[in-house]
Amino acid sequence: MKKQLNLLYFSPTGTTEKIVKAAGGKISDNAKEYNITLPVSRESMLSFTKDDLVIVGVPVYSGRIPAIIEDYLKNISGDNTLAVLVAVYGNREYDDALLELKDIFVSKGFIPIAAAAFLGEHSFTDKLAGGRPDNDDIKTAENFGLDVKNKLDKISSISDIKPLFVKGNFPYRERKPGSPMTPSTSNECVSCGVCASACPTSAIDFDDFSKIKEDKCITCCSCVKRCPTGAKSVQTEGFKKASAWLIENFSAVRKEPEIFIQ
Ligand SMILES: Cc1cc2nc3c(=O)[nH]c(=O)nc-3n(C[C@H](O)[C@H](O)[C@H](O)COP(=O)(O)O)c2cc1C
Ligand code: SF4
Ligand code: SF4
Let me know whether 46 and 103 are in one domain. yes
Does the residue 240 lie in any domain?
A: no
Let me know whether 9 and 37 are in one domain. yes
Does the residue 152 lie in any domain?
A: yes
Nearest ligand atom owner, CA of 190: 2
Supply the pLDDT for residue 140. 98
Query: What is the DSSP secondary structure assignment for residue 42, as one 8-state letter?
Result: G
Does the residue 229 lie in any domain?
A: yes
pLDDT band at 224 (very low <50, low <70, confident <90, very high): very high
CATH number at residue 46: 3.40.50.360
Supply the pLDDT for residue 185. 98
**What is the chain's Cα-based Rg?**
19
Nearest ligand atom owner, CA of 185: 2
Let me know whether 149 and 201 are in one domain. no
Let me know whether 163 and 192 are in one domain. no
Q: How many domains does one find in the chain? A: 2
Let me know whether 95 and 215 are in one domain. no
Supply the pLDDT for residue 255. 98
Let me know whether 73 and 203 are in one domain. no
Which pTM does this prediction carry? 0.98
**Domain region containing 20:** 4-172+256-261
Let me know whether 133 and 204 are in one domain. no
Mean pLDDT score, 186-202: 98
Let me know whether 162 and 193 are in one domain. no
Supply the pLDDT for residue 179. 81
Does the residue 231 lie in any domain?
A: yes
Let me know whether 53 and 167 are in one domain. yes
Supply the pLDDT for residue 177. 79
Supply the pLDDT for residue 180. 82
Beta strand residue intervals within 10-80, DSSP E: 32-35, 52-59
Determine the 3-state secondary structure of 120 from DSSP. coil
Supply the pLDDT for residue 262. 79
Does the residue 250 lie in any domain?
A: no
- Ligand 1: residue of 122, 137, 222 to mutate (most ligand atoms within 8 A of CB) is 122
User: How many Å apart are CA 176 and CA 262, to the nearest integer?
Assistant: 34
Mean pLDDT score, 90-114: 98
- Ligand 1: residue of 15, 19, 38, 89 to mutate (most ligand atoms within 8 A of CB) is 89
Does the residue 126 lie in any domain?
A: yes
- Amino acid identity at 146: L
Nearest ligand atom owner, CA of 229: 2
Which residues does a 6 A CB cutoff place in the pocket of ligand 3? 12, 183, 199-201, 203-204, 212, 217-223
97-107 helix and 67-74 helix, angle to the nearest 10 degrees: 20
91 Cβ below 6 A of ligand 1: yes
Let me know whether 188 and 129 are in one domain. no
Q: Tell which atom from ligand 3 comes closest to the C-alpha of 226.
A: 5
Let me know whether 125 and 69 are in one domain. yes
CATH number at residue 221: 3.30.70.20
Does the residue 178 lie in any domain?
A: no
pLDDT exceeding 70 applies to what percent of the chain? 100
193 and 202 in contact (C-beta within 8 Å)?
no
Let me know whether 32 and 73 are in one domain. yes
